[in-house]
Amino acid sequence: MAKAKIFVARAVFPEIVEYLAQHFEVQSNQSDQVLNKDQLAQHLADKDGAFTTGSDRIDGELLAACPRLKICANMAVGFNNFDLDAMTARGVLATNTPDVLTETTADFGFALMMATARRMTESEHYLRAGKWTKWSYDMFAGSDVHGATLGILGMGRIGQGIARRGAHGFGMKVIYHNRSRLDAATEAECKAHYVSKEELLKTADHLVLVLPYSASSHHAIGAAEIGLMKPTATLVNIARGGIVDDAALAQALREGRIAAAGLDVFEGEPKVHPDLLTVPNVVLTPHIASASVPTRLAMARLAADNLVEFFSKGKALTPLNPQALAKH
């Protein structure tokens, strides 16, 4: 029996490519060229499966040009690069990589919050520029994390991980808002209290965004929401670009309406709103919250295992639209 044909859309660990090659006929973009829509469609036209990342858009137009495609395995927990309705209609299974990145991403979210609160980026730039010539009582004096109120918008696995770190490690008061309230046992484990979104914004000393991106969460934090926050508060976004109105945030930071922000994700990334590059009180990182070697390897392996499981057993480990299987 002929092996299924797989396209690996971006560079990935060589051992993952070797693993896939044991099961499939593999074409891999190890040069890591970011493919436009037409280029991606050309590569997938004769492929049975795809190993994708968040930069690879899979929609109805692409699927119409790729009639053999049966599965796209995303090396990411997010999947807003997938048009799930179009994929399901054509019987193309979508998978992602949940759970394996939860603790690493929570680590990073907490680190970014601390760097933001304690003004680490500002102070490093100051030092590197040779401006540090003496001690002063208020030099880069930021805000405390221990004992402060941690607000979390979006209380899934990663939000819960951040809550546990804050409550158990730093004695923080944890409040959260979510589409649905957590069960009592999970709230107790996280020492977290459910509040309205308005109360969350008004009360949090440090607000961390961990909600999924959708049409309803677009600009969930804009000028009006920032206006409810304390002028001493910090805002951290490790969720998705588009959840925050980056232009409104840059203006608020410039005007001192909140103290600082830490951003790992951006609207239109890898482009960053130019105003964010000119305000000093923001920590900027290039979407690296899950970027530890063990975690990225685990993500890649899970994406690969989804492909192996599908073509060997007709199912997947972490399907996003299992109803697509009924089309086969």
Share above pLDDT 90 across residues of the chain, in percent, rounded to a whole number? 95
Which token pair is 183? 């069960």
Report d(CA 315, CA 325) in Å as an integer.
7
Closest CA to 100 of 284, 321, 306: 306
pLDDT band at 265 (very low <50, low <70, confident <90, very high): very high
Mean pLDDT of 123-136: 97
pLDDT, tens digit (0-9, with 9 covering 90-100), for 145-191: 999 999 999 999 999 999 999 999 999 999 999 999 999 999 999 99
- Beta bridge mates, 209: 153, 237
- The 3 state secondary structure assigned to the chain is CCCCEEEECCCCCHHHHHHHHCCCEEEECCCCCCCCHHHHHHHHCCCCEEEECCCCCECHHHHHCCCCCCEEEECCCCCCCECHHHHHHCCCEEECCCCCCHHHHHHHHHHHHHHHHCCHHHHHHHHHCCCCCCCCCCCCCCCCCCCCEEEEECCCHHHHHHHHHHHHHHCCEEEEECCCCCCHHHHHHHCEEECCHHHHHHHCCEEEECCCCCHHHCCCECHHHHHHCCCCCEEEECCCCCCECHHHHHHHHHCCCCCEEEECCCCCCCCCCHHHHCCCCEEECCCCCCCCHHHHHHHHHHHHHHHHHHHHHCCCCCECCHHHHHHC
pLDDT band at 214 (very low <50, low <70, confident <90, very high): confident
pLDDT, tens digit (0-9, with 9 covering 90-100), for 89-107: 999 999 999 999 999 999 9
pLDDT, tens digit (0-9, with 9 covering 90-100), for 289-308: 999 999 999 999 999 999 99
- Sorted by sequence, the CB contacts under 8 Å of residue 215 that are 6+ apart come out as none
Q: Is the pLDDT of residue 258 over 80?
A: yes
β-strands 206-209, 192-194: how paired? Answer: unpaired
Mean pLDDT of 107-124: 98
CB distance 236 to 262 below 8 Å? yes
Q: Is the pLDDT of residue 328 over 70?
A: no
pLDDT band at 80 (very low <50, low <70, confident <90, very high): confident
Share above pLDDT 70 across residues of the chain, in percent, rounded to a whole number? 99
The pLDDT value recorded for residue 192 is 98
Task: Please tell me if the domain spanning 5-100+293-327 has the same topology as the one spanning 102-284.
Answer: yes
The pLDDT value recorded for residue 163 is 98
Report d(CA 323, CA 321) in Å as an integer.
5
CATH of the structural domain 5-100+293-327, one choice from 2.40.50.60, 3.40.50.280, 3.30.390.30, 3.40.50.720:
3.40.50.720
Q: Is the pLDDT of residue 327 over 80?
A: no
The pLDDT value recorded for residue 283 is 98
The pLDDT value recorded for residue 78 is 87
Report d(CA 275, CA 255) in Å as an integer.
12
Report d(CA 199, CA 20) in Å as an integer.
49
The amino acid that residue 91 corresponds to is G
Q: Is the pLDDT of residue 257 over 90?
A: yes
pLDDT, tens digit (0-9, with 9 covering 90-100), for 56-75: 999 999 999 999 999 999 99
Q: Where are the domains of the chain?
A: 5-100+293-327, 102-284
pTM to 2 decimal places: 0.92
The residues annotated with a catalytic role in the active site are: 240, 269, 287
The pLDDT value recorded for residue 193 is 98
CATH of the structural domain 102-284, one choice from 3.60.150.10, 3.40.50.720, 1.25.40.10, 3.40.50.10800:
3.40.50.720
pLDDT, tens digit (0-9, with 9 covering 90-100), for 25-58: 999 999 999 999 999 999 999 999 999 998 899 9
From residue 191, give the alpha-carbon distance in Å to each of 134, 143, 178: 42, 22, 15
